[in-house]
Amino acid sequence: IAERIGAESPGPNAAGILIHDVSALETAECGDLSLFYDARYAAALTETRASAVVTSRDLSRHAPDGRCLLFAFDPRLAFARVGHLLYPAAAPEPGIDPAARIDPSAAIGAGSQIDAGAVIDRDATVGERCHIGCHAVLGAGVTVGDDCRIGAQTVISNALIGNRVEIGSCVSVGGQGFGFVAEAHGLLRMLQIGRVIVEDDVEIGTNCAIDRGTTGDTVIGAGTVIDNLVQIGHNVRLGRYCVLSGQVGIAGSTVLGDGVMVGGQAAISDHLTIGAGARIAGKSGVMRDVAPGAKVGGYPAVPLRQWHRQTAGLLRLFSGRIDKR
């Protein structure tokens, strides 16, 4: 295990320890491997029944003598790797369920699993070793790469999906963007003829909506992770390895650089540029461009330290008024 997760071996005395599961320090039993990455949980480390613990050299001073420790530079990363060793993703069971509807012009790659009720429209392409869930719909001309997982009741249209992409259930990819122009007798919808391009190794959570581009494309960069209940508007372009937490909303034509992280329920206005490596706090409202590497928060979003000073100042102001009453 130590070799596979990039940790230091605990030595020859640990060779006979059998690990069969992972667990939290508080609930671990003999045969479990646990994680200790924060000194606040030192008491739990002392009392745990885990057979082995992943931690760092620095934190090992909190461990009682005799504890089997696996030292890693990043304990959380090493522990995550253990989880994947013990619980590898299930391989698809090749075959097409009789209740699925596959257009004769569609192409299904070898080793793919198509579940009951799935619909794959004309000229759609599904790569090798994919799993298309129950009642999922792939529209005309949609391309899905190899080793992808498409959840139940997800609808994909006007999209190109890369390799090793995982999309949760009840997701809409490639639907109409939200754009209207006022006319004499109401609202006229803007033309939507672009696509959604999802690059390799992207994960998209449940109940997300990613709109197709208006005239260009909406792009989700490689390695990006999107939580549940996220809305991404038309022509948005996400860089590589971005992280979007739950209930984030990004309005049309905004561009996020590589490695941007956005906290839960944050809202980002349209036609903005968020620089690479920027951090946006949860519940923030971003109305201006954000510089690369900047940390912002609040509504409207400002540099993080400024937001904290504003919050503290308001607290002092209103606390004084309450005391006077």
What is the rounded CA–CA span in Å between residue 265 and residue 258? 20
Q: Which tokens in the block code for residue 140?
A: 């005309």
- Alpha carbon separation from 291 to 108, 110, 248, 295, 296 (Å, rounded): 44, 45, 19, 9, 10
Q: Which tokens in the block code for residue 7?
A: 């940790």
**Three-class secondary structure assignment of 97-154:** CCCCEECCCCEECCCCEECCCCEECCCCEECCCCEECCCCEECCCCEECCCCEECCCC
Does 20 participate in catalysis according to the annotation?
no
Selected catalytic residue, list 62, 234, 271, 308? 234
Q: Which tokens in the block code for residue 315?
A: 């607290």
Q: Are 245 and 264 in contact (CB under 8 A)?
A: yes
- Alpha carbon separation from 150 to 8, 72, 91, 101 (Å, rounded): 37, 34, 13, 16
Burial class (CB in 10 A: 0-12, 13-18, 19+), 68: middle
- Alpha carbon of residue 229 to chain centroid: 11
Residue of 288, 297, 231, 315 lying closest to 261 (CA atoms): 297
Q: Catalytic site residues?
A: 234
